[in-house]
């Protein structure tokens, strides 16, 4: 069975010069500062957009300008050597909620990578098929999916409640077999996940399939409840495992962390996600030690 890594902004935050999410959200508020301690990022973003002065007839134009601002702020994010180490793992698929290209920057100077990296998505707003296919000298498959959009295409940046909800609709359609897209002027409709499981007919057209046919290793972000697309997908998989086709879902999903509150841990476990806490000594470099230990654990699991 193939292996998948789903990572967030954790490695980026190891570089103190990289902008934080709190800074991004604070800057797009402009002069309209407000308290947001108890608000999820989706709600903060929607308030920013809806309070923004109407400079254009359509709110989507005003919103696009905000997304361009976000993309500009994130364009300067630097990479980290850990990305190259992560690339060396026996992993076929890399998923990220990040919009930046720190992962690509981390491997672009390697001599064993074949460039250019080919992009396969034609999506203008959503990221169901946002794939970059990477090949190395050994021709091993490496797929890189930016599931929440990318800064090169600001309209795809998924941060607000409106776009999250739209993406959920796309994911639901993909699961149920209603999802359609065009390729070479041909209209294609995907089979349902149920049918793909029964016939082993996965098409590799979307990262969504990987939650059903690959072992998924999640780390580098806290899985905030505002990540409604991911929580919904985990819940849907757990429900399908309790259905008559449940025995066909044989993959494992693991969430790795240093610490986690009991409620979130129990919720993940109810959704058939194994939570693995990694102990590291408290020190200034504890997160470096966390990733070093984590990569050894993933290596041992994927080399079997």
pLDDT tens figures, 168-187: 999 999 999 999 998 888 89
Query: Are 146 and 265 within one domain?
Result: yes
Query: Are 162 and 297 within one domain?
Result: yes
Name the residue range of residue 29's domain.
21-72
Residue 66 phi, psi (nearest 5): -65, -40
Dist CA 47 CA 41 (whole Å): 10
Question: How many domains in the chain?
Answer: 2
Query: Are 48 and 157 within one domain?
Result: no
Would residue 221 count as lying in a domain? yes
Query: Are 26 and 170 within one domain?
Result: no
Helix axes 161-176, 41-51, angle to 10 degrees: 130
Of 72, 98, 114, the last residue of a domain is 72
Q: What is the pTM of this model?
A: 0.94
Query: Are 125 and 43 within one domain?
Result: no
Query: Are 142 and 284 within one domain?
Result: yes
pLDDT reported for residue 122: 85
Dist CA 255 CA 277 (whole Å): 8
Query: Are 148 and 32 within one domain?
Result: no
Q: pLDDT (tens digit, 9 = 90+) per residue, 267-283?
A: 999 999 999 999 998 88
Q: Are 289 and 280 in contact (CB under 8 A)?
A: yes
Would residue 282 count as lying in a domain? yes
CB hemisphere CA count around 44 (13 angstroms): 21
Of 33, 57, 72, the last residue of a domain is 72
Output 284 or 4, whichever has higher pLDDT: 4
Would residue 193 count as lying in a domain? yes
Query: Are 184 and 56 within one domain?
Result: no
Angle (CA) 148-203-304 rounded to 5° is: 85
79-88 CB burial, b ≥16 within 10 A, e <16:
bbebbbebbe
Mean pLDDT of the chain: 93
pLDDT reported for residue 229: 96
Would residue 16 count as lying in a domain? no
Q: pLDDT (tens digit, 9 = 90+) per residue, 199-247?
A: 999 999 999 999 999 999 999 998 999 999 999 999 999 999 999 999 9
Query: Are 67 and 95 within one domain?
Result: no
- At a CB cut-off of 8 Å and minimum separation 6, what does 304 contact? none
Query: Are 131 and 249 within one domain?
Result: yes
Q: Which residue has the tokens 């508020």?
A: 29
Dist CA 248 CA 172 (whole Å): 19
Would residue 62 count as lying in a domain? yes
Q: Are 207 and 147 in contact (CB under 8 A)?
A: yes
Query: Are 178 and 296 within one domain?
Result: yes
How long, in residues, is the chain?
304
Q: pLDDT (tens digit, 9 = 90+) per residue, 29-69?
A: 988 888 888 899 999 999 999 998 888 889 999 999 999 99
Query: Are 67 and 96 within one domain?
Result: no
């Amino acid at each position: 069975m193939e292996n998948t890594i789903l990572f967030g902004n954790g490695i980026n935050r190891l570089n103190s010069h990289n902008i934080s999410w709190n800074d991004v959200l604070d800057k797009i508020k402009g002069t309209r500062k407000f308290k947001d301690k108890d608000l999820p990022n989706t709600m903060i973003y929607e308030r920013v957009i809806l309070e923004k002065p109407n400079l254009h007839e359509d709110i989507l134009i005003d919103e696009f300008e905000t997304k361009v601002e976000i993309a500009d702020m994130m364009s300067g994010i630097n990479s980290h050597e850990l990305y190259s180490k992560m690339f060396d793992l026996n992993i076929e698929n890399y998923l990220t909620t990040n919009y930046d290209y720190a992962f690509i920057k981390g491997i672009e100077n390697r001599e064993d990578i074949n460039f250019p990296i080919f992009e396969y998505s034609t999506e203008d707003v959503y990221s169901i098929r946002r794939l970059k296919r990477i090949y190395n000298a050994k021709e091993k498959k490496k797929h890189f999916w930016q599931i929440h959009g990318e800064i090169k295409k600001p309209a795809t940046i998924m941060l607000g409640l409106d776009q999250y909800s739209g993406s959920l609709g796309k994911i639901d359609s993909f699961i149920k077999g209603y999802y359609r897209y065009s390729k070479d002027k041909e209209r294609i409709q995907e089979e349902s996940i149920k049918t793909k499981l029964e016939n082993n007919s996965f098409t590799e057209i979307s990262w969504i399939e990987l939650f059903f046919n690959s072992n998924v290793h999640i780390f580098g972000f806290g899985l905030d409840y505002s990540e409604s697309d991911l929580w919904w997908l985990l819940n849907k998989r757990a429900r399908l495992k309790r259905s008559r086709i449940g025995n066909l879902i044989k993959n494992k999903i693991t969430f790795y962390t240093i610490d986690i509150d009991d409620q979130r841990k129990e919720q993940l476990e109810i959704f058939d996600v194994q939570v693995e806490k990694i102990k590291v000594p408290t020190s200034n470099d504890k997160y470096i030690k966390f990733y070093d230990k984590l990569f050894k654990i993933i290596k041992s699991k994927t080399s079997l």
